[in-house]
């Protein structure tokens, strides 16, 4: 498995830690699952409406920085 050079914003880090605690999993597993789920949703939307998928990705990328 390759390591991605990804930095999470403070809010995302706290959400990942909270989810990991609730689920009883380590933070890496929760982050991997969240990325996979999010990518699947983006690709599903892109298959129906590419412009909406791009907009959704960009909007959420901005929100993730906060």
Q: What is the DSSP string of 1-36?
A: -PPP-----HHHHHHHHHHHHHHT--HHHHHHHHHH
In a domain, 5, yes or no: no
Domain total of the chain: 1
Residue 6, pLDDT > 90, answer: no
In a domain, 4, yes or no: no
In a domain, 21, yes or no: yes
Residue 3: band (very low, low, confident or very high) from pLDDT cuts 50, 70, 90: confident
What does the block give as tokens for 57? 């990705």
Buried b (16+ CB within 10 A) or exposed e, 30-49: bbeeeeeeeeeebeebeeee
Residue 66, pLDDT > 80, answer: no
In a domain, 32, yes or no: yes
Q: What is the pLDDT of residues 14-61, one digit of tens each?
A: 999 999 999 999 999 999 999 999 999 999 999 999 999 999 999 999
Domain hosting 16: range is: 10-64
In a domain, 3, yes or no: no
pLDDT at residue 39, as a whole number: 96
In a domain, 29, yes or no: yes
């Amino acid at each position: 498995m390759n390591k991605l050079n990804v930095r999470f914003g403070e809010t995302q880090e706290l959400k990942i830690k909270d989810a990991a605690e609730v689920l009883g999993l380590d933070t890496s597993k929760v982050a991997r699952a969240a990325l996979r789920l999010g990518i699947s949703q983006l690709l599903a939307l892109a298959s129906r409406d590419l412009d909406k998928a791009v907009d959704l990705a960009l909007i959420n990328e901005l929100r993730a920085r906060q």
